[in-house]
Structure 1
């Protein structure tokens, strides 16, 4: 086994471990930040694809595979949004969020303060593992079938962006319903 493979394997295990850990932790729901994250992943993915892939080499098969992966990713994101548990932000959690927002150069008044925290728990971990397995399976299949686009890092980032966007859309809807019920 080469040194490169060992490093990649360790990095993948660390990233998956970090994702799993975060699924079990309560985190402030800040919709603007969630959209920024999805947008950032999408832009970096498109830039990476543009820098490493000639547009002339992208086939209809490549675009079809990407469309399927994006749809699956959106669906998993929607399910993640639906299974998420919400609770009101405690005063302590809100104060910590405001300090964090201030350390990033935003005043608490500028940043839309979250009203709830969320977590997906063990079901969220399971969905991430299914999402990763499907992504790997699609990569292997598409790569074997000749796709150049589906196996790029940029494609992975775009698929993750779609997942985050699907989750954010559901969060927005659920939070709006909470506001209506509370009013």
Structure 2
């Protein structure tokens, strides 16, 4: 299976916030944004593995800035690390008010996807080779984020999370 880079999966999705997408305060509804983020992340994961993918998890999502009616949201997604059958996808969301010229980052998140074969069974995905310093940093942090997801999902015991232990254990070399 051929290795890929994060850039191979890079996806940009734009959407205009219309009245049907907003709450009574004329802000984009959070659920609508999560839906759009899921689509962008799935496209990115599919580009990485050339397979159908399903969402396995969504990390903590906090809404940093409201997105207003009439804003254009831009969602950027790319695979940060591939494990055996799963991929972590990083998303950055920007809200642009075109008439005023403002563009603010309103959200970021990590989604995890699993690749499936034609029978709906999980299958291996290509390895990823980070190229830039930022991609290497995201790649290195992905194992910690994965272990935290597995602990929170009840699929790993905290004592088994070697990467997380290292964060909280003082080195004896001081």
Is TM more than 0.5 here?
no
Higher relative contact order (CA 8 A, sep 6+): 1
Q: 1 or 2, which has the higher strand percentage?
A: 2
TM superposition score normalised by structure 1: 0.25
Q: 1 or 2, which has the higher helix percentage?
A: 1
